[in-house]
């Protein structure tokens, strides 16, 4: 017994272009082929005979049409030239046209305008006088080029151009504009263009002839149109009357002779100069390209027209003939249009032969189709059934190819009464829908970063695919001890909690080891066994506890019946949650039914994708939390490293976030176009936490330098010991003097007391200078230098017990034998510590740093340090501290930030730049600073001013801090608009109430600092 699939397995569907699989043919195909061949031969003979006769008749008729076209064209040319010739002849007979005074020449305007109105192809009329004067009247007729070229005012219909010459003077040129009723619109005196009619060919030809002359066709310079000029000399040689004719109208007439779209019609003279061409646009393009005012037939680069020009030279005229070119065969004719034997104008017409015979070929095709139709009837009748089967299978095959190419847009439509084909089509439809759904949900899951939206996508797709009323997703807790519900929804009863609903789920977590009455909870069964749980009717289930499922979904008369639970298993084969669905319904009857194997398989695959997406989401979140922890760890380490920075790195982000959010929310003034997305906010968050990360490279004794003489320890103790030495030297001197002169005890005692009192006073002065302050005046600096001149005697070698580095600093200074006299204060060579970087801290400087670099790394000179004018830092110390921002930029640029954090180095590294370009490390100005960078600058300054955990200074009050910021605003250091927003939004007070000591928070009159007007159009959002 043969298989029921035998007919389909024997049927071979060949793709287009493929050959037979075994080279054999069926009898049905052979008979059909024989009949077809006979019919094809008969049909071909009849069709060919009919075509040849129709072609011959077509060519004969076309020749007659061409002859009539030549006669009509000749008549049209005469019709065009007749009125113009009459006007020229009549104009030369006017009594005063040659002798009229200049101021009366405009009296000719109505006469000339009437001629222009009566003759549409007349472009202008003119009179050129023998003294060089010239009057020409133009009719605009909507000519845009002429309107633009002459600067015509609105409403201008006619232009009168006058040129008047006087010997020994500059010639005058005027444009006079008139409307359609010859009302004067305006008059313009123009710079003389140099035009002299006496130099024009038409003027010279007319002067040399006793008759009216007509020029060869040429392109008018004013409009670019093709035309001719006809002219005649005035009596007594006083000048020439002329008129320009445009050939556009003749070109329009020639277009009427185009039998087909490709027909070429041209009028040319005996030299080949084109007079008119049916394709006027092409003619103008050729003129523009070749920059020629006269176009020859050969310039058109049409092989058929070139051949016809050659025929005109051979006088092969008046006969239709077929010519052959590279573009094919053409039916053509050349006729002489002129009655004048001395001057010949020719009309050439050429039409592609295939276009002329198109109708004949169409009839041949029609006959062929009739014959073919008969053949097809015979073939189709025998192959009807097989074609039906093959057509359906071929459709399915093409659909399979589209599915393979992931093309799901084409609907699957198969019309077949064969059961197996219909079944296969249904299976492919389901497969196509499933694959498409998987691709779409996978794309959505991979693109979504929000955990709640991921959960919503998964549950909604599962409910949609299985036609379920509702469902839920529960996730395993981080410690793997509990199952916590993250999303519950049931569209049938209107339940939607968790996920993106923002409605909290008030359900206690389920202990993973929990069982009730010895039954396994339905949720935990799928989780613990890592298998799908599918129940058609939970009321009849004896093994699982569905109490929780009912509590979450049942409401009123609504009952839970069918149930599906699928574990969410990640790539480590760990169950991270459970996807549950309730009540699958039939599409047709809406009846609750079991989920079935197809739905189970789909949801299981969906759950696998969902588990990967959730796992990736968790991983991304964990990595972000880890990254944030490292960022805060670095910032905390910097703050912990030195009590002088306190909690600076932790408070600047607070201020930056407040100010950035306020600027983003503001939709007025300069901030109306500034928007800070969630990604931008996080980028600013990271930048603000890392803005001082370079301080990890700054030596503590520089950052913590509270006094001028402090290095790793406060050298004031050294100085004090020297004063102690001087004190004892004074006592010794006293005792020595007393021993030598016992009678001078009182005098010596007085000298001792005076000396010691002076030492006390001098040391107190040095100690006070060591603390530093706002300003040290030059007198105090000089006193330091004077005190330095005092000496004491050193009795111990100052090179014993030194490190290798300390010895290197003294290698160029010879040792002084003891006892040695030392100055009380000194700047010694060993106090100058060379730079570790060889004097070039920026290298090739790819970041554009422009800070002034001191010659030495450190200057420990006692006199130099005590004479610091302001504060406690030398130039070297200040550079070392400022270098932290250089290191910040370098360090952050070395980190492989992702694209969404690429601006962190810039935002973090530019908070010491100023709007006026005087900041560091790169001297950027307002145009270079983005709004987040300006926000960072204000946040950094305000936090430093108000910080109460800096041991070297007292914290500023809120009012003092705002006042100082206003000074910086006035000096062009900070952004004035941000400062206004900082005050008007109340950020300064909100921050103060949360982070400042109560005694710092005083009243601030912000009206004294906020500007009265803010520039609304300034762009600060870059």
The H or E element containing residue 160 is strand 158-164
Partners of 869 in the β-ladder: none
How do beta strands 544-545 and 519-521 pair?
A: parallel
* DSSP sequence for 715-736: THHHHHHHHHHHHHHHHHHHHH
Compute the distance between CA of residue 623 and CA of residue 723 in angstroms, rounded to an integer: 60
Three state DSSP letters for 886-914: HHHHHHHHHCCCCHHHCCHHHHHHCCCCC
Tell me how crowded residue 605 is: count the other CB atoms within 10 A of its CB: 14
Q: Which of these, 431, 328, 916, 943, lies nearest to 646 by C-alpha position? A: 943
> The tokens of 902 are what?
């690429």
Q: Whats the size of the chain, residue-wise?
A: 1022
pLDDT band at residue 177 using 50, 70 and 90 as cut-offs: very high
The pLDDT of residue 409 is 59
Please check whether residue 887 is in contact with residue 638, taking contact to mean a CB–CB distance below 8 angstroms.
no
Compute the distance between CA of residue 533 and CA of residue 207 in angstroms, rounded to an integer: 113
Please check whether residue 762 is in contact with residue 730, taking contact to mean a CB–CB distance below 8 angstroms.
no
Segment 1002-1014 mean pLDDT: 78
Phi, then psi, of 820 in degrees rounded to 5: -125, 140
Residue bearing the bigger pLDDT, 913 or 25: 913
CA 875 to chain centre: 45
Provide the sign of the torsion angle of the four alpha carbons 270, 271, 272, 273, taken in this order.
negative
Q: What angle do CA 127, 131, 136 make, to 5 degrees?
A: 20
DSSP SS3 for 764: helix
Domain boundary, last residue among 318, 337, 356: 356
The H or E element containing residue 930 is none
The pLDDT of residue 176 is 92
Phi, then psi, of 588 in degrees rounded to 5: -80, -45
Residue 40 lies in a domain: no
DSSP SS3 for 602: helix
Q: Which residues contact 705 (CB under 8 A, 6 or more apart)?
A: 711, 872, 873, 877
pLDDT at position 516 over 60: no
Residue 439 lies in a domain: no
Residue 773 lies in a domain: yes
Count H helices and E strands in the chain, helices first: 29, 29
Please check whether residue 624 is in contact with residue 685, taking contact to mean a CB–CB distance below 8 angstroms.
no
Compute the distance between CA of residue 932 and CA of residue 940 in angstroms, rounded to an integer: 12
Please check whether residue 320 is in contact with residue 66, taking contact to mean a CB–CB distance below 8 angstroms.
yes
Compute the distance between CA of residue 972 and CA of residue 993 in angstroms, rounded to an integer: 28
How do beta strands 592-593 and 575-585 pair?
A: antiparallel
How do beta strands 533-535 and 510-511 pair?
A: unpaired
The pLDDT of residue 943 is 84
- Alpha carbon distance, N-terminus to C-terminus of the chain: 82
Please check whether residue 475 is in contact with residue 621, taking contact to mean a CB–CB distance below 8 angstroms.
no
Q: Is 910 in the same domain as 805?
A: no
Compute the distance between CA of residue 37 and CA of residue 26 in angstroms, rounded to an integer: 17
Q: Is 917 in the same domain as 980?
A: yes
Whose tokens are 């556009």? That residue is 248
Domain boundary, last residue among 574, 592, 622: 622
Tell me how crowded residue 884 is: count the other CB atoms within 10 A of its CB: 21
Tell me how crowded residue 667 is: count the other CB atoms within 10 A of its CB: 10
The pLDDT of residue 178 is 94
Q: Is 546 in the same domain as 459?
A: yes
Residue 466 burial (10 A CB sphere; 0-12, 13-18, 19+)? buried
Q: Is 607 in the same domain as 656?
A: no
Q: Is 457 in the same domain as 605?
A: yes
Compute the distance between CA of residue 666 and CA of residue 658 in angstroms, rounded to an integer: 12
Q: Is 590 in the same domain as 458?
A: yes
Compute the distance between CA of residue 710 and CA of residue 713 in angstroms, rounded to an integer: 5
DSSP 152: P
Compute the distance between CA of residue 299 and CA of residue 495 in angstroms, rounded to an integer: 82
Q: Is 613 in the same domain as 721?
A: no
pLDDT band at residue 153 using 50, 70 and 90 as cut-offs: very high
Compute the distance between CA of residue 929 and CA of residue 917 in angstroms, rounded to an integer: 10
**Angle separating helix axes 716-740 and 745-771, nearest 10 degrees:** 170
Domain span including residue 754: 716-833
Tell me how crowded residue 949 is: count the other CB atoms within 10 A of its CB: 13
The pLDDT of residue 179 is 93
The pLDDT of residue 1018 is 45
Cis peptide before 819 (omega within 30 of 0): yes
How do beta strands 482-490 and 510-511 pair?
A: antiparallel
The pLDDT of residue 137 is 92
Q: Is 748 in the same domain as 823?
A: yes
Whose tokens are 């058929």? That residue is 304
Q: Is 998 in the same domain as 881?
A: yes
Please check whether residue 138 is in contact with residue 123, taking contact to mean a CB–CB distance below 8 angstroms.
yes
Residue 713 burial (10 A CB sphere; 0-12, 13-18, 19+)? exposed
Residue 968 lies in a domain: yes
Please check whether residue 333 is in contact with residue 66, taking contact to mean a CB–CB distance below 8 angstroms.
yes
> The tokens of 298 are what?
């050969």
Question: Which CATH number is 469's domain given?
Answer: 3.30.450.40
pTM, to two decimals? 0.49
pLDDT band at residue 380 using 50, 70 and 90 as cut-offs: low
Question: Which CATH number is 144's domain given?
Answer: 3.30.450.20
Compute the distance between CA of residue 101 and CA of residue 103 in angstroms, rounded to an integer: 6
Compute the distance between CA of residue 828 and CA of residue 835 in angstroms, rounded to an integer: 17
Q: Is 490 in the same domain as 606?
A: yes
The pLDDT of residue 27 is 40
Residue 572 lies in a domain: yes
The H or E element containing residue 689 is helix 678-689
* Number of domains the chain contains: 5
pLDDT at position 969 over 70: yes
Q: Where are the beta strands (DSSP E) in 815-886?
A: 820-823, 832-833, 858-859
**Angle separating helix axes 648-665 and 987-995, nearest 10 degrees:** 150
- Cα–Cα distance list, 527 to 312, 515, 520, 828 (Å): 99, 13, 11, 78
pLDDT at position 701 over 70: no
The pLDDT of residue 1015 is 45
The pLDDT of residue 1013 is 41
Tell me how crowded residue 432 is: count the other CB atoms within 10 A of its CB: 19
- pLDDT tens digit sequence for 188-220: 888 877 788 898 888 988 899 888 888 877 777
Residue 710 lies in a domain: no
Question: Which CATH number is 648's domain given?
Answer: 1.10.3210.10
Q: Is 484 in the same domain as 615?
A: yes
Segment 242-249 mean pLDDT: 79
DSSP SS3 for 770: helix
Cis peptide before 921 (omega within 30 of 0): yes
Compute the distance between CA of residue 713 and CA of residue 706 in angstroms, rounded to an integer: 10
The mean of the pLDDT values for the chain is: 75
pLDDT band at residue 71 using 50, 70 and 90 as cut-offs: low
Residue 377 lies in a domain: no
Residue 77 lies in a domain: no
pLDDT at position 572 over 90: no
Tell me how crowded residue 547 is: count the other CB atoms within 10 A of its CB: 13
Segment 684-708 mean pLDDT: 64
- Cα–Cα distance list, 547 to 34, 521, 522, 540 (Å): 79, 8, 9, 13
pLDDT at position 616 over 90: no
Q: Is 465 in the same domain as 604?
A: yes
pLDDT at position 37 over 50: yes
């Amino acid at each position: 017994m043969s298989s029921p699939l035998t007919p389909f397995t024997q049927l071979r569907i060949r793709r287009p272009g493929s050959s037979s699989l075994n080279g054999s043919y069926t009898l049905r195909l052979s008979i059909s082929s024989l009949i077809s061949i006979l019919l094809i031969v008969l049909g071909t003979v009849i069709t060919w005979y009919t075509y040849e006769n129709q072609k011959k008749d077509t060519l004969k008729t076309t020749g007659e049409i061409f002859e009539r076209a030549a006669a009509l064209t000749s008549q049209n040319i005469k019709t065009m030239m007749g009125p113009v010739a009459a006007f020229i002849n009549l104009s030369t007979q006017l009594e005063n046209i040659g002798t009229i005074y200049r101021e009366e020449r405009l009296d000719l305007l109505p006469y000339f305008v009437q001629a222009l109105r009566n003759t549409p192809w007349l472009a202008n009329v003119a009179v050129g006088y023998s003294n060089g004067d010239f009057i020409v009247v133009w009719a605009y007729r909507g000519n845009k080029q002429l309107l633009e070229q002459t600067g015509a005012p609105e409403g201008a219909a006619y232009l009168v151009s006058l040129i008047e010459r006087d010997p020994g003077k500059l010639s005058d040129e005027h444009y006079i504009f008139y409307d359609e009723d010859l009302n004067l619109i305006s008059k313009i005196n123009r710079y003389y263009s140099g035009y002299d009619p006496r130099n024009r060919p038409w003027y010279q030809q007319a002067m040399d002839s006793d008759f009216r002359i007509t020029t060869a066709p040429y392109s008018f310079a004013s409009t670019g149109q093709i035309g001719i000029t006809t002219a005649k000399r005035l009596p007594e040689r006083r000048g020439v009357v002329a008129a320009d004719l445009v050939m556009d109208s003749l070109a329009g007439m020639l277009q009427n002779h185009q039998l087909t779209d490709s027909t070429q019609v041209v009028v040319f003279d005996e030299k080949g100069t084109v007079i008119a061409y049916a394709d006027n646009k092409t003619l103008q393009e050729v003129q523009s390209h070749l920059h020629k005012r006269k176009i020859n037939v050969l310039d058109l680069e049409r092989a058929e027209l070139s051949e016809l020009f050659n025929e005109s030279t051979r006088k092969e005229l008046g006969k239709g003939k077929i010519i052959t070119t590279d573009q094919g065969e053409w039916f053509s004719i050349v006729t002489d249009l002129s009655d004048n034997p001395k001057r010949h104008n020719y009309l050439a017409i050429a039409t592609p032969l295939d276009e002329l015979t198109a109708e004949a070929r169409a009839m041949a095709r029609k006959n062929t189709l009739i014959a073919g139709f008969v053949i097809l009837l015979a073939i189709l009748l025998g192959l009807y059934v097989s074609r039906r089967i093959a057509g359906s299978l071929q459709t399915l095959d093409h659909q399979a190819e589209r599915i393979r190419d992931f093309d799901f847009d084409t609907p699957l439509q198969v019309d077949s009464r064969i059961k197996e084909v219909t079944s296969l089509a249904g299976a492919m439809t389901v497969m196509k829908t499933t694959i498409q759904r998987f691709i779409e949900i996978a794309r959505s899951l991979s693109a979504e970063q929000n955990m709640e939206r991921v959960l919503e996508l998964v549950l909604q797709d599962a409910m949609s695919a299985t036609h379920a009323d509702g469902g839920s997703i529960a996730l395993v807790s981080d410690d793997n001890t509990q199952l916590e519900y993250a999303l519950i929804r049931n569209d049938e009863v209107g339940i939607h909690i968790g996920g993106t609903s923002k409605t909290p789920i008030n359900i206690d977590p389920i202990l993973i080891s929990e069982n009730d009455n010895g039954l396994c909870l339905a949720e935990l069964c799928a989780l613990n066994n890592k298998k799908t749980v599918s129940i058609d009717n939970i009321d009849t289930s004896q093994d699982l506890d569905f109490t929780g499922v009912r509590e979450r979904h049942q409401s009123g008369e609504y009952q839970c019946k069918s149930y599906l639970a699928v574990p969410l298993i990640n790539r480590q084969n760990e169950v991270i949650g459970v996807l549950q669905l309730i009540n699958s319904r039939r599409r047709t009857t809406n009846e609750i039914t079991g989920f079935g194997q197809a739905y189970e398989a789909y949801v299981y695959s969906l759950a696998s994708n969902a588990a990967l997406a959730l796992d990736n989401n968790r991983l991304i979140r964990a990595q972000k939390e880890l990254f944030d922890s490292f960022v805060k760890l670095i910032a905390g380490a910097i703050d912990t490293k030195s009590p002088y920075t306190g909690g600076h790195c932790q408070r600047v982000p607070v201020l930056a976030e407040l100010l950035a959010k306020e600027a983003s929310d503001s939709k007025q003034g300069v901030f109306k176009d500034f928007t800070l997305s969630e990604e931008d906010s996080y980028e600013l968050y990271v930048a603000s936490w890392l803005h001082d990360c370079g301080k990890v490279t700054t030596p503590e004794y520089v950052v913590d330098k509270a006094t001028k003489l402090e290095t790793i320890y406060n050298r004031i103790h050294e100085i004090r010991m020297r004063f102690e030495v001087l004190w004892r030297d004074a006592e010794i001197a006293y005792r020595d003097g007393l021993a030598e002169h016992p009678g001078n005890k009182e005098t010596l005692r007085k000298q001792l007391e005076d000396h010691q009192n002076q030492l006390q006073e001098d040391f107190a002065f040095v100690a006070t200078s060591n603390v530093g302050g706002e300003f040290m005046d030059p007198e105090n600096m000089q006193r330091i230098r004077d005190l330095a001149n005092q000496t004491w005697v050193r009795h111990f070698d100052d090179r014993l017990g030194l490190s290798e580095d300390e010895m290197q600093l003294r290698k160029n200074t010879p040792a002084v034998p003891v006892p040695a006299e030392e100055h009380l204060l000194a700047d010694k060579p060993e106090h100058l510590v060379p730079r570790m970087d060889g004097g070039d801290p920026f290298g090739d400087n790819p970041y554009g740093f422009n800070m002034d670099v001191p010659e030495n790394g450190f200057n420990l000179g006692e006199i130099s340090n005590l004479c610091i004018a302001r504060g406690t830092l030398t130039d070297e110390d200040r550079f070392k501290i400022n270098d932290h921002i250089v290191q910040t930029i370098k360090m952050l640029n070395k980190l492989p930030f992702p694209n969404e954090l690429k601006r962190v180095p810039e935002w973090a590294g530019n908070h010491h730049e100023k709007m006026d370009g005087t900041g560091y490390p790169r001297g950027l100005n307002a145009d270079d600073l983005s709004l987040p960078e300006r926000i960072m600058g204000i946040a950094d300054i305000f936090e430093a001013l108000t910080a109460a955990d800096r041991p070297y200074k007292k914290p500023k009050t809120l009012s003092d801090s705002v006042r100082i910021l206003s000074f910086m605003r006035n000096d062009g250091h900070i952004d004035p608009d941000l400062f206004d927003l900082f005050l008007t939004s109340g950020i300064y007070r909100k921050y103060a109430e949360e982070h400042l000591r109560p005694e710092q928070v005083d009243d601030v009159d912000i009206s004294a600092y906020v500007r009265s007007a803010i520039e609304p159009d300034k762009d600060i959002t870059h």
